[in-house]
Amino acid sequence: MALLEGSNLRKTYRLSRRTSVEALRGVDVSIDAGEMVAIMGPSGSGKSTLMHVLGLLHAPDRSGGPAPELRIAGSDAAGLRDRERTRTRAQSMGFVFQSFNLVPTLTAEENVALAAEYAGMRRSHVRVAAREALDTVGLAGRATHRPMELSGGEQQRVAIARALVNQPMILLGDEPTGNLDSARAAEILGVLRRFNRERGQTVVLVTHDPDVGGACDRIIRMRDGLIVPDDMRIGTAAAA
Ligand SMILES: Nc1ncnc2c1ncn2[C@@H]1O[C@H](COP(=O)(O)OP(=O)(O)OP(=O)(O)O)[C@@H](O)[C@H]1O
Ligand SMILES: [Mg+2]
């Protein structure tokens, strides 16, 4: 069953009255519940933009073409009001961004706990859940460090722990292993794969890393703001 379904997704960034960038030019996409999918494609092809739209962080354009549709577990998400969008995001989704967006004044544990509190987890459980999530990413020993006192890879793992702490239905990651060495990347990929297999969580990862793509069930390829259809890819491979 489709968990995330979008059609006619367009997103234009307007830089001035004359210049704009069409980051998404009419994307149709469907991701099944329990799938682990990679979104790949050249820099600037619209991967992060698509992830932000699927994650209800950016609304798709309503003008300039057919009406966009976005469904999460069958319910309309395109027409949600701000408050409902925020709630859906906090309760059903976990994000790992390209920039980690950790709060610099909070420790690793507090950063993870904040996401749990935000999603409405019981106070008494927050601390335990935060510790567990840090343990999952191999950072139990760094719980009291602030982001500045962590390496780039460690900060990335805190961000992953923060995304996992609520056991979200959908985990969206933008280059979640981008700053890690290959051993760490494989380890984190293993953590995500395990969450996906054991808990049936749907995982969507934007990545440049063919190893990450290869570990997923399916690769969605983007180019110039559009998804490259499967049959075109076969054609390209045959021609190459
Ligand atoms: N906030 C913004 N304002 C204006 N243009 C933007 C903005 N965000 C992205 N763009 C443009 O939209 C296009 C798609 O950007 P996006 O970030 O989705 O690409 P990407 O595939 O994630 O690239 P990368 O692999 O480099 O992260 C790019 O041409 C980019 O310059
Ligand atoms: Mg990007």
User: Of all atoms in ligand 1, which is nearest to the CA of residue 51?
Assistant: 18
Going from the Cα of 172 to the center of ligand 2, the distance in angstroms, rounded, reads 12
Residue 83 backbone dihedrals phi, psi, to 5 degrees: -65, -40
What does the pLDDT read at residue 231?
Answer: 65
What does the pLDDT read at residue 234?
Answer: 54
Residue 89 maps to a domain: yes
Rounded Cα distance between 164 and 195, Å, is: 9
Going from the Cα of 100 to the center of ligand 2, the distance in angstroms, rounded, reads 13
Residue 70 maps to a domain: no
What does the pLDDT read at residue 232?
Answer: 62
Going from the Cα of 98 to the center of ligand 2, the distance in angstroms, rounded, reads 7
**Which CATH number does the domain housing residue 115 bear?**
3.40.50.300
For residue range 121-161, list pLDDT tens digits in order. 999 999 999 999 999 999 999 999 999 999 888 998 999 99
Residue 23 maps to a domain: no
pTM of the model: 0.89
pLDDT band at 237 (very low <50, low <70, confident <90, very high): very low
Q: What percent of the chain has pLDDT over 70?
A: 96
**Which residues, 6 or more positions from 209, have their beta carbon under 8 angstroms from its beta carbon?**
177, 178, 185
Sort strands 2-14 and 20-32 into parallel, antiparallel or unpaired: antiparallel
Identify the residue whose C-alpha is closest to ligand 1 atom 16.
46
What does the pLDDT read at residue 233?
Answer: 60
pLDDT band at 238 (very low <50, low <70, confident <90, very high): very low
Residue 15 maps to a domain: no
Residue 111 maps to a domain: yes
What HEC string does 41-80 produce? Answer: CCCCCCHHHHHHHHCCCCCCCCCCCCCCEEEECCEECCCC
Residue 30 maps to a domain: no
Dihedral, CA of residue 50, residue 193, residue 175 and residue 96, to nearest 10: 80
User: Of all atoms in ligand 1, which is nearest to the CA of residue 41?
Assistant: 21
Residue 154 maps to a domain: yes
What does the pLDDT read at residue 240?
Answer: 40
Give the structural domain span for 181: 35-57+83-239
Identify the residue whose C-alpha is closest to ligand 1 atom 7.
13
Going from the Cα of 43 to the center of ligand 1, the distance in angstroms, rounded, reads 8
Tally the domains of the chain.
Answer: 1
Residue 202 maps to a domain: yes
